Amino acid sequence: MVSSGGPQHAILPSSKRKRRIEDNFNCGQEGASLKENQDKKKDSDQMDPSVESVDRISQLPDHVIHHILSHLRNVNDAVRTSILSKKWRALWHSFSILVFDERKFAARIGNEDNKEMMFREYVSISLCDRLVKNLYIQKLVVHITPHDLSDDTEYLNLWLNIANDRNIKELDLHVGIKSGKRFTLPSIVFSSKTLTGIRLSGCKLETCGNIMLPHLQKLYLHKLYLDESVIQNLISCCHSIEDFRIIKCSGLKHLHISNLIRLNRVEVHHCTQLKKVQIGAPNLDTFWFCGKRTFPCKVSLEGCDSLKRLTLGHPQVTRDFCENQISNFPLLEKLDLCISNDKIKYIIFSNPHLQKFSLKGCKKLRFVQVFAPNLVSFECKGETMPLVDFNPFCLTDAKLSFLPKQKVVGFGDKIWIMMKTFIGKFESEGFKLILYSSKVFFF
Cα separations in angstroms, 105 against 17, 21, 295, 401: 16, 11, 39, 42
Q: pLDDT tens per residue, the chain (443 residues)? A: 444 444 343 455 555 555 555 554 454 344 444 444 554 444 445 545 554 566 777 777 766 766 676 666 555 676 677 677 777 666 666 667 888 999 888 887 777 678 889 999 999 998 998 899 888 888 999 999 987 888 899 999 999 999 999 999 999 999 988 878 889 999 899 999 999 999 999 998 887 778 899 999 999 999 998 888 888 888 888 999 999 999 999 999 999 999 899 999 999 999 999 999 999 999 999 999 998 888 889 999 999 999 999 999 998 898 899 989 999 999 999 999 988 766 788 899 999 999 999 999 888 888 999 999 999 999 998 888 889 999 999 998 888 888 877 777 777 778 888 888 888 888 877 766 666 655 555 55
> Can the peptide bond before residue 49 be classed as cis, meaning omega within 30 degrees of 0?
no
Measured CA to CA in angstroms, residue 170 lies from 69, 244, 260, 265 at distances of: 16, 15, 21, 18
Nearest to 248 by CA among 279, 219, 278, 224: 224
Cα 91 to Cα 50, 360, 367, distances in angstroms: 31, 49, 62
In DSSP terms, which residues pair with 95 in a beta bridge? none
Q: What is the pLDDT of residue 47?
A: 47
pLDDT for res 129: 87
pLDDT of residue 31: 41
SS3 431: coil
Model pLDDT, residue 166: 92
Q: What is the pLDDT of residue 11?
A: 57
pLDDT for residue 30? 41
Domain ranges of the chain: 338-426
Neighbours of 40 (CB within 10 A): 12
The closest alpha carbon to 71, from 161, 139, 155, 18, belongs to 139
- Residue 123: phi and psi, rounded to 5, are -65, -45
Q: What is the pTM of this model?
A: 0.80
pLDDT of 29 reads: 42
Strands 170-175 and 97-101: unpaired
- Residue 292: its pLDDT value, please? 84
- Residue 385 has what pLDDT? 86
What DSSP string describes 189-246? GGG-SS--EEEEESEE----S----TT--EEEEES-B--HHHHHHHHHH-TT--EEEE
Helix (H) / strand (E) containing 20: helix 15-45
DSSP string, 69-102: HHTSSSHHHHHHGGGS-HHHHHHHTT-SEEEEEH
